[in-house]
Chain A
Amino acid sequence: MSTQPQYPDAQGHFGPYGGRYVPETLMAPLEDLEQAYRDARRDPDFQRELDDLLHNYAGRPTPLYEARRLSEELGGARLFFKREDLLHTGAHKINNCLGQALLARRMGKRRVIAETGAGQHGVATATVCALFGMDCTVYMGEEDMRRQRLNVFRMRLLGTKVVGVANGSRTLKDAISEAMRDWVTNVHDTHYLLGSALGAHPYPMMVRDFHRCMGDEARAQMLERTGRLPDAVFACVGGGSNAIGIFTAFVPEPGVALVGVEAGGRGHALGEHAARFEGGSPGVLHGAYSYLLQDGEGQVSLTHSVSAGLDYALIGPEHAWLHDEKRAEYVSITDREALEAAKTLARTEGLIPALESAHGVAEALRRAPEAKGQIFLINLSGRGDKDTDIYRENLPELDNPDGK
């Protein structure tokens, strides 16, 4: 069942996308990282230790939950949620962090750095560094620190140093730039624990592989529960780690539609959203060639999304390839639609999704009424506790229900 994906090629290309666009200083370290990763993957001891941690520490496998009440209310497709929100630290991010931390230890790197947008990857990185006794620094845009105060505090509680980034839009893009500057400076003893399916090869491949357990589990669970594969799989796409993680097992199944959901933000103008396939064109950012939101001069555009984790100008290169090959379809959901979907899911199923995940949920909810007889699989990639402040800001009618 777990067929190994054919991509990327030896140079890290998914069709024309991906590759390695970084300063020469990082090229040999990326080659070393790729070699160490390929060795580790062949080493049964590495896999055994990772599996043990995923099971006993993080909580895998996660359940596949059929949302009967919501499905009935919509009167169409049967909706199944892959419950990554139940994992330790509250999102899928921990899968990749455990894998890369084991790899960093194997490579003898004592220091770990990471970027974070919503703070979920930062918290997951801080968590595994605490677990392995590694020194950890997380870069985070100041705007995101404001939006995700709770996660900033969680990281500090876990013993991590959180460095605010005041450049540019002060969001994920600027945090990655700053993390790359740290890495190029301290590469001899530091592992860059990149948190999405982005960046220079081998990161998009490695991050996908550490997350493909989501799709592998869901595929088996779905067959066991319904006797067949889903008709469509939905996942939000920022860099694209949770989407590629759940898609990979289904890519070879032509009958399964793959739907990636980008952040439509608050409007169609450049700077108001993070919908790379609608408003972008191929370009290079942070080491990879992929669809990029940029102006006519090749300068990277600012982006907006109510969800910090989707607020990024480049989509992971494998998604660009799946898009061009028409193997996956990419749509966008606005801030408002995502908030409404979160409200619906909370009220009908008692599940408060992360704002990122709410984008994937929203597209499934939109299509479900017209899809009688179909089965939808939705990646509930994270839980919404971290977003409570943003939900309060954006859903004032609930904060003061009596209008007092």
Chain B
Amino acid sequence: MESSQRIGRRFAHCRFQKRPALVAYLTAGDPSPGLTPELALALERGGADVLELGVPFSDPIADGPVIQRASDRALHAGATVARVLEIASRIRERSEMPILLFSYMNPLLRYGFDRLGEEAARRGIDGVLLTDLSVEEAEEPVRQLRAHGLDTVFLAAPTSTERRLKLVAEYSSGFVYVVSRTGVTGEQDSVQAGVGPLVERIRSLTDLPVAVGFGVSRAEHVQAIGAYADGAVVGSALMRVVEEHGAAPDLPARLEAFTRALTTPSGGPDR
């Protein structure tokens, strides 16, 4: 089955506009499954190009405290794989923003990759990224997800060897996600200088767009990444807004404003 191409087309569109794509992460189900579609649309209104929809897992080893807490709240609020798929349908009814599921191996393995691929594609999901799925173990999941036209995004890291980068490029479709530094997700004051050369190394191996994430939280980071990469991923900074204002009736408006500030070159958000 052919890929939906939504991810690739959106990156091409941003490239044409000479700006980095903003990939925005949202833990599905935090503060409640009912509210997630509203929050996703708020991200889009604020300027997000691609939605990373987090399927919460009980033991998120690649995540820092902010997303760990968001995952706990989402699980408490009843976010399951099936609920997340429903949430994606609600978003797709109202938006053409590309949707990438972002999770860990076990919840999706339990759901079954073949069943997941079929249902995700039917509901308008465009791709899947699993942080703890190494390319060495990925053959079967990738085959099953691609069979339903889903993109499979893999991580490239500062520690990756040349041999590994080649494999990551080979197994990825849609885009390649470059981890900016060794560590877990979470806001940082600056984006590490070594990431530019890493992006260049990947570019020599693939024509896929390259997005940079982990520690990206401010407009100046997004702008700096735009100088060498096709997109920037923001996660913890957005989930902190959800955490701090989860009960506020104007949470969607706050999230929208925060996102807009991320894509506004001068000034930037006030945090």
Contact = CB atoms under 8 A, between A and B. Distances in A.
In this complex, the member of A20, A24, A31, A285 whose beta carbon has the largest number of chain B beta carbons within 10 angstroms is A24
Interface in A177-217: 177, 180-181, 184-188
B74 to A, nearest CB: 11
Given A181-B184, A187-B182, A283 B106 contact: yes
A388 interface: no
B106 A284 contact: yes
A10 to B, nearest CB: 10
Interface in A270-298: 283-287, 289, 292, 294, 296-298
A61 B45 CA distance: 69
B59 A25 contact: no
Given A185-B182, A188-B182, A24 B106 contact: no
Interface in A296-328: 296-300
A348 interface: no
Nearest to A20: B134
B269 to A, nearest CB: 25
B182 A184 contact: yes
Contacts of A28: 157, 159-161, 164
Nearest to B156: A24
A287 B62 CA distance: 12
B62 A184 contact: yes
A292 B109 CA distance: 12
Nearest to B130: A21
B62 A23 contact: yes
Contact of A21 (B134, B154, B157, B182): B134
Interface in B135-193: 136-137, 154-161, 164, 168, 179, 182-184
B137 A285 contact: no
**Interface class of chain A by DSSP:** mixed
Contact of B159 (A168, A177, A180, A187): A187
A185 B109 CA distance: 27
B106 A292 contact: yes
A11 B182 contact: no
A47 interface: no
Contacts of B182: 25, 184-188
B61 interface: yes
A38 to B, nearest CB: 17
Nearest to A173: B59
A351 interface: no
Contacts of B157: 23-25, 27-28
B110 interface: yes
Contact of A185 (B59, B104, B137, B183): B183
B107 A21 contact: no
A22 B132 contact: yes
Given A297-B107, A299-B75, A25 B159 contact: yes
B27 interface: no
Contacts of A181: 61-62, 64, 184
B59 A300 contact: yes
Nearest to A169: B58
Contact of A294 (B110, B154, B160, B164): B110
A29 interface: yes
A25 B136 contact: no
B57 interface: yes
Contacts of B58: 168, 299-300
B110 A283 contact: yes
B133 interface: yes
Nearest to B104: A284
B57 A299 contact: yes
B136 A20 contact: yes
A2 interface: no
Contacts of A292: 106
A203 to B, nearest CB: 14
Contacts of A374: none
A99 B225 CA distance: 43
A103 B143 CA distance: 38
B59 A298 contact: no
Contacts of B179: 23-25
B56 to A, nearest CB: 8
A26 B131 CA distance: 11
Contacts of A296: 110
Contact of B160 (A24, A174, A187): A24
A19 interface: yes
Interface string A131-174: 00000000000000000000000000000000000011000011
- Centre residue among A21, A31, A168, A185 by max chain B CB count within 10 A: A21
A30 to B, nearest CB: 9
Given A23-B62, A181-B184, A283-B109, A297 B80 contact: yes
Interface of B: 57-62, 64, 68, 75, 80-81, 104-111, 131-134, 136-137, 154-161, 164, 168, 179, 182-184
22 contacts: A19-B136, A20-B134, A21-B105, A24-B134, A24-B156, A25-B159, A28-B161, A177-B60, A180-B61, A181-B64, A181-B184, A187-B182, A283-B109, A284-B132, A285-B106, A292-B106, A294-B110, A297-B107, A298-B108, A299-B58, A300-B59, A300-B106
Interface of A: 11, 19-29, 31, 167-168, 173-174, 177, 180-181, 184-188, 283-287, 289, 292, 294, 296-300
